[in-house]
Amino acid sequence: MTRIIKVEPHGKDWRVRSNQMDEMMFHSGAAAEAAARLIADACVKAGQDAELRIYLRDGSLAGKLAYPAPATSERARAAPSAPTLQAV
Give the pTM. 0.80
Cβ proximity of 11 and 21 under 8 Å: no
Strand pairing category for 13-18 and 21-26: antiparallel
Residue 42 and residue 20: Cα distance in Å, rounded?
13
- Determine the distance from the C-alpha atom of residue 53 to the mean position of all C-alpha atoms in its chain, rounded to a whole number: 6
Tens-place pLDDT, residues 50-87: 999 999 999 999 999 999 998 764 544 555 566 666 65
- pLDDT mean across residues, the chain: 88
What are the residue boundaries of the structural domains of the chain, listed by start? 3-86
